[in-house]
Amino acid sequence: MQDTQDMKRIVIEPVTRVEGHGKVTILLDEENRVKQARLHIVEFRGFERFIQGRPYWEAPVLVQRLCGICPVSHHLAAAKAMDQIVGVDELTPTAEKMRRLMHYGQMFQSHSLHFFHLASPDLLFGFDADVAIRNVIGVAAKHQDLAVQGVMMRKFGQEIIKATAGKKIHGTGAIPGGVNKNLSIEERDSFLKDIDQMIEWSRGALAIARNYTIENLEAIAPFGSFDSNHLSLVREDGAMDLYHGNLRAIDANGGKIFDQVDYNNYLDYIGEDVRDWSYMKFPFIKSIGPENGWYRVGPLARVNACDFIDTPEAEAARQEFMAVTNGKPNNLTMAYHWARMIETLHSIEKIRDLLHDSDLQGTDLVLKGDRRPEGVGLLEAPRGTLFHHYRVDENDQVVMANLIVSTTSNNEPMNRAVTKVAMDHISGKAEITEGLLNRIEVAIRAYDPCLSCATHALGRMPLVVRLVDHEGNEVAKKST
Amino acid sequence: MEQPKRILLIGYGNPGRLDDGLGPAIAVAAEQWQVDGLTVDSDYQLTVEDADDVAKHDIVIFADASVNGREPYGVEVVQPKQALSFSSHSVEPSVLLHMAHALFHAQTRGYILGIRGYEFNEFGEGLSARATENLEKATAFLRLALDNPSLLDVPQQMN
């Protein structure tokens, strides 16, 4: 780290136990002008080695250990790759729908957790609110109904996962070529009992995010915002599809960079840049190059990239979202929250529709084809496009694994957001307050990064913010 | 006859990170026991929805691997605490207990059973030999404590 005599450093870094971690370093000069701002994420690369030599059918279970936040995403992405290994290109209707139900349950619970318990304190109380109330307990005290809704929505999604994956740790629901269980009538009815409530609460959450964005548009429009490319899977007809589709990349104005790309060919389109100051790679679109080819993934990218959403309420919300930018992609960092709640409503609409589909009670669960040596599985995880790629030898052992997780794709955008906020809100300030430093976290939090995925370890994102002067003295500290 | 306490055991940690699997391992052991009023759960980490389950029990025991705690294990009373952090997807036991009290008006008592582990920083399955010994002792203690929860309040005699 360059640390010259005439500069100060602000470091935002975590206190972790065994997890990987990230930190933000903001380099100031003597007049407190921001010279440089960077998000560093320490990445362990042990997992690819760990899985080598293991039988391919274990992969969908083993990969869940990558992350305690979104094990289902890794489970399903690996299972999709292993479908190809066992020569299955199309699952049975029951298998396909059970996996989708699992995935929408994951999306629903993850987005609910993020909105109600991580993001809502910023939105409800403001960036400068007392840190003692700007947290989930503050939400509970002032908006108890919202805090309870967050818990119960999260729990509903987790129960969906439990019913489809089998259990919380080492779920085994998805297996190469299909699934190992269907949904019983009893399980279905237990979810149907609560579905209307979940939809109602999702509408309410969407309204909060939508109203916050509209009412504060002038203030949040420049906040950590910048034009970018966007990448996601879309269905063949251009619809949003969180479980399966082809790759589409658009530029900041909505122009298509590529479209309907078979994700088996992702290496022809996506590269990974390495920079000497970061452990985490920087993915980019090859045809544009690393300098300008970086892209956003996640809810904002997905809502921007798709042509429509195939559930009515979420589609109506998407149209309203796109109208704010006259149909062009929305490039506001804070618009992630609104987009995330559109997806939450979409997910619960999908869950409702699936629960009424009798294919979930089918018994044709697994298919088998001719063994292949290589498989690629992609899906849209809560935080964005997730890539799993494996090669398997003739002894059925995994010999190569390559993963690109969503947070890695958002590495450059998060760095840009940090830089933008630091320049706009911290540069030149005589005193760095907690509220100013919180703005850095607000910008990162919009992306809902999962450092546990990115670091291939169980994860949290606790941060310690330190302001260090040019002599190395700590002049301010923020612990969150 | 006194009703048995409703006890929730949550063993959490990542079995794919060596000794971090101590929490889930003791949950596996407890699932084999037939103890009235005992509910066993296991997960990679604690999250907010656990507050609802915590609120439905008289006692919650958070079983976790300990990086630098007492050997072979230690028991701590959990004091409900407001979260000053909201950057994390996971939740500390103290915050979870506070949420159970504040959101669901429960009076659940909480304890942490920290089982000392030694190897955390690599991917891999299985516990180290020393952690396995600690697990056996912690498991024996837990079995006694489930029948006599007051033992949880006198951890110093148990170690």
On whether both A104 and A218 belong to a single domain, the answer is yes
Residue in chain A closest to B28 (alpha carbons) equals A169
Distance in angstroms between the alpha carbons of the first and the last residue of chain A: 24
- Least confident piece of the model among A9-18, A58-67, A177-186, A305-314: A9-18
- Top pLDDT among A219 and A428 is at A219
| Predicted pLDDT of residue B69 | 84
Average pLDDT of A104-114? 94
Q: Coil, strand, or helix at residue B50?
A: helix
Angle between helices B22-31 and B129-147 (to 10 degrees): 40
Residue in chain A closest to B68 (alpha carbons) equals A17
Average pLDDT of A118-126? 87
In a domain, A151, yes or no: yes
On whether both A140 and A30 belong to a single domain, the answer is no
On whether both A96 and A211 belong to a single domain, the answer is yes
C-alpha distances out from residue A62 to A172, B72, B89, Å: 10, 29, 21
CA atoms within 13 A on the CB side of A143: 20
Amino acid in position A423? M
Residue in chain A closest to B48 (alpha carbons) equals A151
In a domain, A257, yes or no: yes
Per CB-CB distance under 8 Å, the chain A contacts of B44 are 65, 67-68, 71, 168-169, 458
Interface test with B, best of A44, A111, A137, A479 (most B CBs within 10 A): A137
- Least confident piece of the model among A330-339, A441-450, B28-37: A441-450
On whether both A104 and A208 belong to a single domain, the answer is yes
For B67, residues 6+ apart whose C-beta sits below 8 A from its C-beta are: A17, A18, B117, B120
On whether both A32 and A111 belong to a single domain, the answer is no
Average pLDDT of A398-410? 91
Q: Are A210 and A278 in contact (CB under 8 A)?
A: no
Interface test with A, best of B89, B90, B105, B115 (most A CBs within 10 A): B89
C-alpha distances out from residue A58 to A174, A328, A453, Å: 11, 43, 19
Pairing state between β A7-13 and A22-29 = antiparallel
Say yes or no for a CB contact (<8 Å) between A68 and B99: no
For A465, residues 6+ apart whose C-beta sits below 8 A from its C-beta are: A10, A11, A12, A24, A437, A440, A476, A477, A478, A479, A480
Say yes or no for a CB contact (<8 Å) between B48 and A65: no
- If you average pLDDT over every residue of chain A, what do you get? 87
On whether both A439 and A317 belong to a single domain, the answer is no
CA quadruple B12, B17, B20, B23: dihedral, nearest 10: 40
| Predicted pLDDT of residue A6 | 54
Task: Give the C-alpha separation, A267 to A52, whole Å.
Answer: 21
Say yes or no for a CB contact (<8 Å) between B44 and A169: yes
Instruction: Tell me whether B35 touches chain A (CB under 8 Å).
Output: no
Task: Give the C-alpha separation, B24 to B43, whole Å.
Answer: 7
Residue B113 lies in domain? 7-150
DSSP at A238: S
pLDDT band for A451, please (50, 70, 90 cuts). low
On whether both A219 and A345 belong to a single domain, the answer is yes
In a domain, B1, yes or no: no
On whether both A265 and A121 belong to a single domain, the answer is no
Domain count, chain B: 1
| Predicted pLDDT of residue A138 | 80
On whether both A142 and A265 belong to a single domain, the answer is no
Percent of chain A with pLDDT over 70: 88
Which domain CATH number covers B49?
3.40.50.1450
DSSP at A466: E
B77 forms bridges with which residues in the sheet? Answer: B111
pLDDT band for A458, please (50, 70, 90 cuts). very low
Average pLDDT of A198-216? 96
Q: Are A192 and A220 in contact (CB under 8 A)?
A: no
For residue B143, the distance in angstroms to the closest alpha carbon of chain A comes to 23
Which of A15-24, A137-146, A391-400, A470-479 has the largest mean confidence? A391-400
In a domain, B2, yes or no: no
Percent of chain A with pLDDT over 90: 64
Instruction: Tell me whether B103 touches chain A (CB under 8 Å).
Output: yes
For residue B1, the distance in angstroms to the closest alpha carbon of chain A comes to 34
Per CB-CB distance under 8 Å, the chain B contacts of A152 are 49, 52
Per CB-CB distance under 8 Å, the chain A contacts of B95 are 136-137
In a domain, A394, yes or no: no
Global confidence as pTM: 0.89
In a domain, A405, yes or no: no
Task: Give the C-alpha separation, A189 to A194, whole Å.
Answer: 9
In a domain, B157, yes or no: no
Interface test with B, best of A41, A50, A169 (most B CBs within 10 A): A169
For residue A58, the distance in angstroms to the closest alpha carbon of chain B comes to 13
Task: Give the C-alpha separation, B94 to B98, whole Å.
Answer: 6
Q: Coil, strand, or helix at residue A131?
A: coil
User: Using alpha carbons only, how large is chain A's radius of gyration in Å?
Assistant: 22
Model confidence over A344-387: pLDDT tens digits?
999 999 999 999 999 999 999 999 999 999 999 999 999 999 99
In a domain, B102, yes or no: yes
For B126, residues 6+ apart whose C-beta sits below 8 A from its C-beta are: B18, B21
Task: Give the C-alpha separation, A156 to A106, whole Å.
Answer: 10
Q: Are A329 and A253 in contact (CB under 8 A)?
A: yes
pLDDT at position A414 over 70:
yes
pLDDT, tens digit only, all 159 positions of chain B: 567 789 999 999 888 888 989 999 999 999 999 899 999 999 888 888 899 999 999 999 999 998 888 899 999 999 998 765 545 566 789 989 999 998 899 999 999 999 999 988 777 788 999 999 999 999 999 999 999 999 998 754 444
Q: Are B95 and B46 in contact (CB under 8 A)?
A: no
For residue A316, the distance in angstroms to the closest alpha carbon of chain B comes to 30
Domain count, chain A: 3
Return the number of CB contacts < 8 Å for A and B: 133
Task: Give the C-alpha separation, B96 to B79, whole Å.
Answer: 10
Task: Give the C-alpha separation, A137 to B110, whole Å.
Answer: 18
On whether both A252 and A342 belong to a single domain, the answer is no
For residue B119, the distance in angstroms to the closest alpha carbon of chain A comes to 10
In a domain, A387, yes or no: no
pLDDT at position A463 over 80:
no
Instruction: Tell me whether B23 touches chain A (CB under 8 Å).
Output: no
Instruction: Tell me whether B31 touches chain A (CB under 8 Å).
Output: no
Task: Give the C-alpha separation, A319 to A324, whole Å.
Answer: 9
Q: Coil, strand, or helix at residue A206?
A: helix
In B8-63, alpha helices (H): 22-31, 50-55
On whether both A240 and A215 belong to a single domain, the answer is no
Model confidence over A259-312: pLDDT tens digits?
999 999 999 999 999 888 777 889 999 999 999 999 999 999 999 999 999 999
Task: Give the C-alpha separation, A452 to B93, whole Å.
Answer: 19
Q: Are A87 and A369 in contact (CB under 8 A)?
A: yes
On whether both A199 and A237 belong to a single domain, the answer is no
In a domain, A393, yes or no: no
Say yes or no for a CB contact (<8 Å) between A118 and B43: no
Residue in chain A closest to B80 (alpha carbons) equals A137
Decide which of A316, A331, A346 is a domain's last residue: A331
Tokens linked to A470: 């040019």
Per CB-CB distance under 8 Å, the chain A contacts of B47 are 113, 154
Q: Which helix (H) or strand (E) holds A418?
A: helix A411-421
Per CB-CB distance under 8 Å, the chain A contacts of B14 are 65, 68, 457-458
Residue A457 lies in domain? 7-44+414-479
∠ CA A299-A150-B37 to the nearest 5 degrees? Answer: 135
Interface test with A, best of B42, B43, B48 (most A CBs within 10 A): B48
In a domain, A173, yes or no: no
